[in-house]
A and B are shown apart, each in its own frame.
Chain A
């Protein structure tokens, strides 16, 4: 079983606890979503487990067949971050799609509004071109 000295345990513990407090406060202020909180807290909880309960880390390495407990720790962290990233990418794409639809709808609504104000809907190609345009442009 691996051992960490007290100074290392205190440092890791303080960093992780500080991060947990920050996450909880951010969630309470609606800066991050509750699902993100769950994923991100595990980034702090996993090192805490490995730091303060080395026996659990050793047991997990034996079960998984991984050579070193810290390899398992970083593997676990990578997996959590990967899941989080995957979730974010899906969310980002959905938002991008929704954003695009809203911008398009906004443009179309504006046209419709302008058309209804002008009192016409579809301009026919048979209609004469507005002759005032030259003078307006110049």
Chain B
């Protein structure tokens, strides 16, 4: 008898991504693995454009009545995955930065290593991906990586990556508690504190097709302060 397919929820948080959301969902749906069912769920984080309308035509879509920020949006996906007994979930940006075909790689590595979280990294491996972000941002990412190395003895080359696979244990943790702002690196600290295993693999990423990053100017400083403070707190308290 053929074993049952693993059911993975693909969480696609979107905020005013009407130009890309449909393409992203269709690319996600075109990914095929004989042992896995990839089920996309778009989380429209209170967009003021046609994101919800367009996403609804191609996938299930949760519309949040007000903008909660990336943390709140992604956590909605975790709650959905938890309540609907998914085996795992993959977070993928709605702006087209991530390559959906790489999801298969994430699942394969998760099966091989048994890690609870598999992070797709732009900077890992010999073949560095095309999209490298700005110099300042790379410096920031390197600093956060250093903090992980010093505090957790964990080598993470791209802790800010929003392209990640999480198993049922991680879903349970994040459905209960997930950082509101700048959640990616902070949630990794949270996961390490609770003893979850994290591994990283190189993936292809592209420049965002539309919109701008929400982290710029003085916000970068707040970002760093917030992330480093939380990582310190999680490590020692």
Residues of chain A with a CB closer than 8 A to B59's CB: 123
- By DSSP majority rule, is chain B's interface helix, strand, loop, or mixed? mixed
Q: CA–CA, A137 to B21, complex, Å?
A: 13
Is the beta-carbon distance between B62 and A107 smaller than 8 angstroms? yes
Q: Can you name the residue of chain B whose Cβ is closest to the Cβ of A132?
A: B57
Residues of chain B with a CB closer than 8 A to A130's CB: 57-58
- By DSSP majority rule, is chain A's interface helix, strand, loop, or mixed? helix
Q: CA–CA, A105 to B57, complex, Å?
A: 22
Is the beta-carbon distance between B57 and A122 smaller than 8 angstroms? no
How many residues in A have their beta carbons less than 8 Å from beta carbons of B?
21
A7 contacts partner chain B, Cβ-Cβ < 8 Å:
no
Residues of chain B with a CB closer than 8 A to A108's CB: 62, 76, 79-80, 83
What is the distance, in angstroms, from B64's C-beta to the closest C-beta of chain A? 5
Q: Can you name the residue of chain A whose Cβ is closest to the Cβ of B44?
A: A107
Q: Which of A100, A103, A125 contacts B29 (CB 8 A)?
A: A125
Q: Can you name the residue of chain A whose Cβ is closest to the Cβ of B28?
A: A125
Is the beta-carbon distance between A137 and B37 smaller than 8 angstroms? no
Residues of chain A with a CB closer than 8 A to B28's CB: 125
Is the beta-carbon distance between A111 and B62 smaller than 8 angstroms? yes
What is the distance, in angstroms, from A131's C-beta to the closest C-beta of chain B? 10
Q: Which of A121, A129, A132, A137 contacts B26 (CB 8 A)?
A: A129
- List residues 26-78 of chain B with CB under 8 A from any CB of chain A: 26, 28-29, 31-32, 37-40, 43, 54, 57-66, 68, 72, 75-76
Is the beta-carbon distance between A104 and B29 smaller than 8 angstroms? no
Q: CA–CA, A103 to B180, complex, Å?
A: 13
Residues of chain B with a CB closer than 8 A to A125's CB: 28-29, 31-32, 37-40
B212 contacts partner chain A, Cβ-Cβ < 8 Å:
no
Is the beta-carbon distance between A100 and B57 smaller than 8 angstroms? no
How many residues in B have their beta carbons less than 8 Å from beta carbons of A?
32
Is the beta-carbon distance between B57 and A104 smaller than 8 angstroms? no
What is the distance, in angstroms, from B60's C-beta to the closest C-beta of chain A? 6
Q: CA–CA, A104 to B73, complex, Å?
A: 8
- 27 interchain pairs, CB-CB under 8 A: A100-B68, A100-B75, A103-B66, A103-B72, A104-B72, A104-B75, A106-B64, A106-B65, A107-B64, A108-B83, A110-B63, A111-B61, A111-B62, A111-B63, A111-B80, A122-B60, A123-B39, A123-B60, A125-B28, A125-B29, A125-B38, A125-B39, A126-B32, A130-B57, A130-B58, A133-B22, A137-B54
Contacts A100-B72, A132-B57 aside, 11 further interface pairs with beta carbons under 8 A come to A100-B180, A106-B65, A107-B76, A110-B63, A111-B62, A123-B59, A125-B40, A126-B37, A129-B26, A130-B57, A133-B58
Residues of B that sit less than 8 Å from A by CB: 7, 22, 26, 28-29, 31-32, 37-40, 43, 54, 57-66, 68, 72, 75-76, 79-80, 83-84, 180
Residues of A that sit less than 8 Å from B by CB: 100, 103-104, 106-108, 110-111, 115, 121-126, 129-130, 132-133, 136-137
